[in-house]
Amino acid sequence: MAAHVETIPFSRPFLAPTSIERLAQVLGSDHAHGDGPFTRAASAKLRDILEGGEVLLTTSGTHALEMASRLLGFGEGDEVILPSYTFSSAATAIAMTGARIVFVDIDPATGNIDPELVAEAVSPRTRAISVMHYGGAPVDMAAVLATADAHGGIPVIEDNAHGLGVRSEWGMLGRIGAFGVQSFHDTKNVHAGEGGALVINDERHLDRAEIMREKGTNRSQFLRGAVDKYSWVDWGSSYLPSELNAAVLDAQLAVFDDIQAARHRIWDRYAAELADWAAQVGATLMNPPRGIHAAHLFYLLVPEPDDQTDLIASLREQGIVATFHYVPLDTSTAGRRYGRALRPLVQSEQFSRCLVRLPLWVGMSEAHVDRVIAAVREWRPSRGTG
């Protein structure tokens, strides 16, 4: 690779136009801790995007998942169904309660949990079903909820870290289950550097969630004037983000539609301009059902696992950073300790070993996208397919 060639990173955090202005307002005020004006403003914008729900900003998506596990009361002897192909935070949030994880396989067409295998995994010990909308492409929520309802109304947690703003035939992602979880890590479509949100769709959990988020105190009630003093009333932790994080998030959410439009333009170019190449080499491009997704990522599946390493290395030689994604959790050290699978999860393993994600971030120029597409189109499997 020539030294002068610009590296195209896999991801680059977006700087919203008014971020610095909002941060200056916080730093110039007497309120840098949480639950200030930017926390309220960002929460209101999120409710608008989600079309409802009670929104509690958190310090991370991981912490929102932990809150959901605590609110549902998981404990020793309980089981929670989870796709193996997901991020570790979804699993650690269950493991921390003492509950056992039951890993199930995915639908290779989407990377999402397979609803038929969810139904198979339910037992008398099942306390919840946790799903993830991979790449913002919707899980078949009708099938998952049918299983949940058939077994007495098992709560469903939606990990919607990839899918903010996506409308499915079952409703807005993050608003269909008992809880929705959002992540605002700086690799996400909108970010706060670090941050998240718990979306509460069952209002019975709201009062306890507020207490849990405020270190186990009823401080939120005190601030609303509902009590004259606040004190320790339940288990909790410091899940409330600072106003600095909330200010960055508020600036991002103010231009959410612009962010999404820019990401979709890049996604659409990859889908259109790599189709012929994929057919030639036997690769499979991301192709969500009914074209519904968040443009959070664009992946392709190469024919063989060895091709994954080869393609990533080939792109890196040309100054382009592409990457794999999750290693199935049931195969991990912690997964074997805290969970079990009913059988080998062959689809998750194959998906993981063949998937390559291409750069996708707001600010990628047409020239950047041209380079990525050209570099991918040049690659051929070492065995000479095509």
Q: How far is CA 49 from CA 175, 253, 379, in A?
A: 11, 9, 40
Q: Are strands 54-58 and 79-83 parallel, antiparallel or unpaired?
A: unpaired
In whole angstroms, give the CA distance from residue 23 to residue 28: 8
Answering whether pTM is above 0.75, one says yes
Q: Are residues 303 and 250 in the same domain?
A: no
Sequence-distant (6+) residues with CB within 8 A of 65 are 89, 90, 93, 130, 157, 159, 181
Q: Are residues 181 and 136 in the same domain?
A: yes
Closest CA to 132 of 176, 70, 169: 176
Residue 119 belongs to domain spanning: 19-254
385 pLDDT above the threshold of 80: no
In whole angstroms, give the CA distance from residue 215 to residue 312: 44
Q: Are residues 212 and 288 in the same domain?
A: no
Mean pLDDT of the 228-246 span: 95
Sequence-distant (6+) residues with CB within 8 A of 24 are none
> How does DSSP assign 313-324, residue by residue?
HHHHHTTB--B-
Q: Are residues 180 and 118 in the same domain?
A: yes
So what's the pLDDT on residue 1?
A: 45
Confidence of residue 3 (pLDDT cuts 50, 70, 90): low
Structure confidence by residue, pLDDT tens digits, 24-57? 999 999 999 999 999 999 999 999 999 999 999 9
87 pLDDT above the threshold of 70: yes
Q: Are residues 250 and 267 in the same domain?
A: no
| Number of structural domains the chain divides into | 2
Q: Give the other-Cβ count within 10 Å of 271's Cβ.
A: 16
Residue 3 within a domain: no
Residue 197 within a domain: yes
Q: Are residues 205 and 57 in the same domain?
A: yes
Q: Give the other-Cβ count within 10 Å of 337's Cβ.
A: 9
In whole angstroms, give the CA distance from residue 66 to residue 318: 41
Residue 156 within a domain: yes
Q: What CATH number is given to the structural domain containing 176? A: 3.40.640.10
Mean pLDDT of the 140-165 span: 98
Structure confidence by residue, pLDDT tens digits, 192-202? 999 999 999 99
In whole angstroms, give the CA distance from residue 136 to residue 355: 16
250 pLDDT above the threshold of 70: yes
Measure the CA angle with vertex 249, ends 356 and 266; round to 5°: 35
Give the end of a domain, one of 221, 254, 287: 254
So what's the pLDDT on residue 76?
A: 97
Q: Are strands 112-113 and 167-168 parallel, antiparallel or unpaired?
A: unpaired
Cα-Cα-Cα-Cα torsion 46, 51, 53, 58, nearest 10 degrees, comes to -20
Q: Which amino acid is at 10?
A: F
386 pLDDT above the threshold of 50: no
